[in-house]
């Protein structure tokens, strides 16, 4: 029987204080919150091109990774740690910002393409297959393709920040079942529209 439990949870973002509050760092926001809830701190691991910590969640050991390579080269860090610990792609969860979802919505899925996200594109290129899980954190869309770069590299509004914060809180609450591989149960709870819609 294939083990579906998550061994590696990766949050995508850009290193540096100037990027800390930007939309492109939504993956970092989630991963930082998970580490804090489980009382762990990140340490820099040069061989994994990122910051790493381990948490124990209801008996399940999970490594958390924040690539320090900038978003477009995230795959270097993901591939390095996955190969070192022999973690199959189906036991990897990648969390990242999603333009095509409004703030406050999150979606969990396995496999698929990169949908224009360069961090996912690079991860797909460097892992053996694309069968990893994705947690897409809605940040909304600026309206035109030309505005996207400036949009993701700026901070969300107070209203959008509150919506994203609520969504991240919900995700953290699901961590025990999420990391245990109870994906359908987690999707049933996450894939609901906010009451404001």
What is the per-residue pLDDT for 195? 44
Q: What is the pLDDT of residue 192?
A: 76
The CATH number assigned to the domain holding 85 equals 3.40.50.1470
Contact yes or no for 26/133 (Cβ under 8 A)? no
| 148 touches 99 (CB < 8 A) | yes
Residue 2 lies inside a defined structural domain of this protein: no
Number of folded domains that form the chain = 1
Q: How many CB atoms lie within 10 A of CB 146?
A: 9
Q: At what angle do helices 74-84 and 118-126 cross, to 10 degrees?
A: 40
pLDDT grade, residue 3 (50/70/90)?
Answer: confident
pLDDT of residue 128: 80
Kindly report the pTM of this predicted structure: 0.94
180 domain-assigned: yes
**6 vs 4, residue with greater confidence:** 6
Does residue 1 lie in a domain region? no
Q: If you average pLDDT over every residue of the chain, what do you get? A: 94
Indicate the annotated binding residues.
19, 70, 72, 118
Q: Say what the alpha-carbon torsion angle 98, 85, 76, 72 is, to the nearest 10 degrees.
A: 10
Phi, psi of 44 (to 5 degrees): -75, 130
Which residues line the annotated binding site for tRNA? 19, 70, 72, 118
Q: Which of 24, 56, 58, 141 is catalytic?
A: 24
Is 24 part of the annotated catalytic residue set?
yes
Residue 22 within any structural domain of the chain? yes
Across 28-32, 44-48, 59-63, 78-82, least confident range? 59-63
Q: Judge whether 108 lies within some domain.
A: yes
Q: What are phi and psi of 122, to 5 degrees?
A: -70, -35
Task: Supply 17's token pair.
Answer: 């204080």
> What mean pLDDT comes out for the span 147-158?
97
What's the domain range around 117?
Answer: 8-190
Quick one: the chain helix, strand, coil %, rounded to 5? 45, 20, 35
**pLDDT tens, 156-194?**
999 999 999 999 999 999 999 999 999 999 999 999 765
**Residue 3: inside a domain, yes or no?**
no
For 107, residues 6+ apart whose C-beta sits below 8 A from its C-beta are 98, 101, 135, 136, 138, 190, 191
pLDDT of residue 2: 59
């Amino acid at each position: 029987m294939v083990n579906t439990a998550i061994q590696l949870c990766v949050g995508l973002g850009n290193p540096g204080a100037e990027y800390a509050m930007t939309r492109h760092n939504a993956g970092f926001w989630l991963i930082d919150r998970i580490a804090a809830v489980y009382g762990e701190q990140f340490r820099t691991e040069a061989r994994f091109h990122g910051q790493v910590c381990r948490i124990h969640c209801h008996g399940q050991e999970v490594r958390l990774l924040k690539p320090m390579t900038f978003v477009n080269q995230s795959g270097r860090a993901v591939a390095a740690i996955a190969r070192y610990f022999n973690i199959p792609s189906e036991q990897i969860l990648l969390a990242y910002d999603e333009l095509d979802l409004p703030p406050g919505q999150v979606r969990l899925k396995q496999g698929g393409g990169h949908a224009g996200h360069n961090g996912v594109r690079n991860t797909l290129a460097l892992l053996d297959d694309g069968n990893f899980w994705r947690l897409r954190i809605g940040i909304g869309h600026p309206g035109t393709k030309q505005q996207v770069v400036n949009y993701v590299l700026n901070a969300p509004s107070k209203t959008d920040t509150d919506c994203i914060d609520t969504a991240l809180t919900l995700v953290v609450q699901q961590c025990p079942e999420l990391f245990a591989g109870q994906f359908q149960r987690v999707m049933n709870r996450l894939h609901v529209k906010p009451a404001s819609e």
